[in-house]
Amino acid sequence: MKHYTHAHFILRCIEIARNGGQKVSPNPMVGSLLVENNDIIGEGYHAEYGKAHAEVNAFSSVKKENLHRVKNATLYVSLEPCNIFGKTPPCTSLIIDNKIKKVVISTQDVSPEVNGNGVILLQNAGIEVVQDIITEKGKVLVTQRSTFVTKKRPYTILKLAISEDGFYASNEKVNTWLSSSITARLTHKWRSEVDAILVGTDTALIDNPILDSRFFPGKSPLKFVLDKHNSLPNHLNLFHEPNVAKRFTLKSKNINDVQIGLDNNESLDLNEISTYFYNQNIGSILVEGGGKLIQSYLDSNLWDELRLIKTKKRLKEGKEIQWKNLNKSASYILGDDMIEIYLREETR
In sequence order, what are the residues at sequence separation of 6 or more whose Cβ sits closer than 8 angstroms to the Cβ of residue 233?
none
- The Cα–Cα gap between 34 and 40 comes to 6
Q: Measured between alpha carbons, how far is 170 from 206 in angstroms, rounded to an integer?
A: 12
Nearest alpha-carbon partner for 46 in 123, 121, 141: 141
User: Which residue in the list 43, 55, 80, 305 is annotated as catalytic?
Assistant: 55
What does the alpha-carbon distance between residue 230 and residue 248 come to, in Å, rounded to a whole number? 8
Q: How does DSSP assign 268-331, residue by residue?
A: B-HHHHHHHHHHTT--EEEE---HHHHHHHHTTT---EEEEEE-S---SS-B-----S-EEEEE
DSSP string, 12-49: HHHHHHGGGGGGGTTSPP-EEEEEETTEEEEEEE--ST
Say if residue 28 is preceded by a cis peptide, omega within 30 of 0.
Answer: no
Reply yes or no on whether 55 is catalytic: yes
154 secondary structure, DSSP code: -
Q: How many residues does the chain have?
A: 348
Q: What is the DSSP string of 98-150?
A: TT--EEEEEE----TTSTTHHHHHHHHTT-EEE--SSHHHHHHHTHHHHHHHH
Spatial contact of 309 and 167, defined as CB atoms under 8 Å apart: no
- Which amino acid does the sequence have at 252? S
**Phi (first) and psi of residue 39, to 5 degrees:** -115, 125
Which letter does DSSP use for residue 204 in this model?
I
| Residues catalogued as catalytic | 55
